[in-house]
Amino acid sequence: MAQEGQLWDMALQHLGHDDLLELVVEPWRGASPPPTRLVEHLSIGNVSPQVLNIVKIAQERVGAFIPGRMPVAGEITLYARHASDLADGLITRLPKEQLSRAWRGSCLEIDLGI
9-13, 56-60, 75-79, 89-93: least confidently modelled range: 89-93
pLDDT classification of 2: cutoffs 50, 70, 90: low
Residues 6+ apart with CB under 8 A from 76: 41, 42, 43, 52, 55, 56, 59
Torsion on CA atoms 37, 38, 43, 49, rounded to nearest 10: -40
pTM beyond cutoff 0.75: yes
- 3-state DSSP call for residue 76? strand
